[in-house]
């Protein structure tokens, strides 16, 4: 069984897996592509034999709607992190922002955030970060297929991006801020697509539970 679940903000991807396991009583449940706790949107869940499909699904292109807050840098590159630095936001206009966003289309080389599940010497980076240890990280090269400006209001930039698997949108937010001659961090992230799976077809956990219980009681 492959499920398109809407992960709510504050939940970890593993929290969703546990909830689905509790609802369905399936022995084997996994997810196809981690979403950060503050993020929300499409999380693909697989059960039993269909968990084998998850690695293929997670390798698909993904689409996000993201919001950057300029002028503040955090250790996690997002709103859950500790503020490390503040800076003035330069005078910006839509034309400048659109130009900078478009400059990221194509091959995108970036560093994974220290607060990430990437491993260094067999240890996940977030374990180093939690102990205030900064280690050298290998750069990641991914592909940005599309990036489109939505809005700019005072110190917040909202945009959509379609990119290859393994792209850290938190790093993209930091790099966009740098190109705009300031600092910034991600304050909102919504995953709207994973391959052919769309947020328009996602089920909230509540809806899935209701549907599952109805199916079981009706025998359908």
Burial of 208 (0-12, 13-18, 19+ CB in 10 A): buried
C-alpha gyration radius of the chain: 19
**What is the Cα–Cα distance from 76 to 137, expressed in whole angstroms?**
15
Are 73 and 84 contacting, i.e. CB atoms less than 8 angstroms apart?
yes
C-alpha dist (Å) from residue 213 to 122, 140, 207, 217: 42, 43, 10, 6
**What is the Cα–Cα distance from 175 to 125, expressed in whole angstroms?**
19
Catalytic positions, please?
36
What are phi and psi for residue 151, nearest 5 degrees?
Answer: -160, 160
């Amino acid at each position: 069984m492959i499920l398109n679940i809407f992960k709510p903000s504050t939940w970890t991807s593993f929290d969703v897996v546990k909830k689905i396991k509790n609802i369905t009583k399936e022995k084997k449940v996994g997810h196809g592509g981690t979403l950060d706790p503050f993020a929300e949107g499409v999380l693909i869940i697989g059960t039993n034999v269909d968990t084998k499909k998850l690695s293929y699904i997670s390798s698909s292109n993904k689409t996000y709607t993201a919001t950057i807050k300029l002028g503040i840098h955090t250790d996690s590159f997002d709103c859950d992190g500790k503020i490390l630095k503040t800076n003035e936001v330069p005078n910006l206009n839509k034309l400048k922002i659109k130009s900078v966003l478009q400059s990221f289309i194509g091959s995108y080389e970036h560093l994974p955030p220290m607060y990430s599940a990437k491993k260094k010497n067999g240890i996940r980076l977030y374990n180093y970060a939690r102990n205030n240890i900064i280690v050298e990280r290998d750069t990641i090269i991914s592909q940005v297929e599309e990036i489109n400006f939505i809005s700019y209001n005072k110190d917040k930039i909202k945009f959509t991006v379609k990119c290859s698997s393994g792209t850290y949108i938190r790093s993209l937010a930091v790099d966009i801020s740098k190109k705009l001659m300031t600092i910034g961090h991600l304050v909102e992230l919504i995953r709207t697509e994973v391959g052919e799976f769309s947020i328009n077809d996602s089920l909230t956990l509540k809806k899935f539970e209701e549907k599952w219980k109805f199916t079981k009681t009706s025998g359908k």
